Amino acid sequence: QDIPVITIDGPTASGKGTLTDEVARALGYGVLDSGSLYRVTGLAAHRAGLDLNDGAAVAALVPTLDLRFEEGRVLLDEEDVSNELRQEATGLMASQVGAHPPVRQALHQLQLDFRRLPGLVADGRDMGTAIFPDASLKVFLTASAATRAERRFNQLISKGVPAKLDDLRADLEARDARDKTRSASPLQAAADAIELDNSAHSVEASKDLVLGWWQTKR
């Protein structure tokens, strides 16, 4: 493939989304927020009254979904569900449906379709391992659980959403454990990924590191 892809994988609230947007903007590339696909699938399955542990039923729902992605907004059946997708409850639904191989399979091609010129920055858990194994730059972004919980806490508080730091940290750790130990595409760095711990970095500093690596790889 000669359409360039940069993958940015890592655990919940490691700052992948922000870094992905910044790198994409600097390069003029498109963005794939693959978590939003799992989130909207979880939400749609929940709304349809499906058992989220029934992988075959959830996978069968995927091709029937009317989805549109517009500048960071996600439309499900013409309804803008972007705000609902960001809620913690939806994140848990995403993590539940994402544990099933048939669901991951059903979402595979949809993710490949985001690869368009002039290039793509793809954010998720398995972008570098399963979806774009031929990506020319793979980043595995981490940050300590304490840092991640604090960032999520500040995000919620600034939006006026009540939050408890300890609860957030426990939720993060539970979701990470599930993402890392599942048998289908577990969260793990690709062998050829560069690990970046951004606990002590500004977004700007992380972006400059990634752009520097990109210069040397392409």
Provide the annotated binding site.
Answer: 10-18
Helix (H), strand (E) at residue 22: helix 16-27
Cβ 112 to ligand C5P shortest distance, Å: 13
Q: According to CB under 6 A, which residues from 99 to 138 bind ligand C5P?
A: 124-126
Binding residues for ATP: 10-18
Among 6, 9, 25, 12, CA closest to 144: 12
Q: Residue 169, interface with ligand C5P (CB under 6 A)? A: no
Q: How many CB atoms lie within 10 A of CB 164?
A: 12
* Structure tokens belonging to residue 209: 């590191």
By CB under 6 A, the count of residues binding ligand C5P is 14
Torsion sign across C-alpha atoms 114, 115, 118, 123? positive
- Considering only residues 98, 114, 141, 210, which one is a binding residue for ligand C5P as defined by CB under 6 A? 98
Residue 80 or 212: the one with the smaller Cβ distance to ligand C5P is: 80
Distance CA(135)–CA(3), nearest Å, equals 9
Q: Residue 179, interface with ligand C5P (CB under 6 A)? A: yes
Cβ 111 to ligand C5P shortest distance, Å: 8
Q: How many CB atoms lie within 10 A of CB 206?
A: 22
Q: Residue 41, interface with ligand C5P (CB under 6 A)? A: no
Cβ 22 to ligand C5P shortest distance, Å: 16
Report the 3 state secondary structure along 35-87: HHHHHHHHHHHHHCCCCCCCHHHHHHHHHHCCEEEECCEEEECCEECHHHHCC
Contact characters 2-31, ligand C5P, x per CB under 6 A: ----------x-------------------
**Interacting residues toward ligand C5P by CB under 6 A:** 12, 34-35, 38-39, 91, 94-95, 98, 124-126, 175, 179
